[in-house]
Structure 1
Amino acid sequence: MKKLLLALLAASACVGAQSATYNLDPLHTHVIFEIDHIISTNRGRFDRKEGAVEFDPQAQKGRVDLTVDMLSINTGVAPFNKQLQGKDFFNVEQFPTAKFTADDFVFSGDKVVEVNGNLTLVGKTNPVKLKALRFTCFENKMLKREVCGGDFEATITRSQWGMVWGIDRGFPDNLRLLIQVEGIKQ
């Protein structure tokens, strides 16, 4: 009888568990891209981004809303930043933000292995699958709150968003996205 009571209490605790919201920490959230450049790799990042993640590990569900300020592109080379902000690439004058939204978290056991969503970039929206390289939650002793975070990656085809500059001259269509996120429970 005691075991049955404990099992019922444990089950009711799981049923009562609710999704928590984690605001993304801009100091520990990074959106980076890589693209081959003949004999090396061009890299860049976006310095301003904001968003939140709703996460319920018991129900194995989640939701992501991430907005990226495209004016904050930083390759370390000012003329290259300007070129990427122009109409041939991100066209930041007309489309100053990009947005990733997702509500499909894929689990293997109790681990997040993939987040499937939509990336809106240059006014076009296409599906993107982010592979979780790692993802975990823990009680941050310094903040005295739970934090969740991880590293994700995807390879996208830039021509799906209309960015075709240089493809006819041998520049690659594929680019790699690396996304590091850390969110603080609210």
Structure 2
Amino acid sequence: MTKTPHNHLRFFNKVTSTFRHPEVPNTSIKLLLFPFSLDGEARDWLDKEPPRSILTWDDLVSKFINQFFPPSKTTYLRNKITNFFQEPNETFNEAWERFKGLLRQCPHHGFSELHQLDTFYNSLNSNDQDALDSAAGGNFLDKMPQEGLAIIESKSKVRYSRSRASDSRVSTDAPLSNSSPSNNSFDMQQIAASLEDKMTIKMKP
């Protein structure tokens, strides 16, 4: 499985935010539609869940993340973030992109923005630290997190823009499937028809 459960949920929430029904909560709609967003290993996992073992959307999200992003992986990535260090031949831009990549891999890392910037600053070589201090007009770490982030992004602006252009060619919010969202595993007409059927059943006394 190459996509993270967090990316999958972001994509799924974006799609289902367009679905509305006056008599059905949005979380119920999500529960009804979620199986259609899965394929392969993820679909097999959900099919094997015991009947009535998932009663709410929060239950499903929790089980889904724990299944495909176990606590051990969270601990591993949190340690990589905490112990991040700029490589000897790594440029400032490369180090920043790599650090952000680690944060994206573990979006529930729990580190505050201040902690993130402090970790990144202290991981840099002295020349890059001096450059950030100079751009900050003093000690970089005295700045508020949003100011510090703006300084870093400004310093890496050219590289960051190229990275964004490259990232736009590769979707990071695709479903947990080997196929694209337009595939039958997530076909919008199929979902709409099933939603109508399931809601009819759901709303019967």
> Above 0.5 in TM-score?
no
Answer 1 or 2: higher relative contact order, Cα 8 Å, separation at least 6.
2
Pair member with larger Rg:
2
Higher helix content, 1 or 2:
2
Q: Give the structure-2-normalised TM-score.
A: 0.26
- Under a length normalisation based on structure 1, what TM-score does the superposition of the two structures give? 0.28
Structure holding more strand per residue: 1
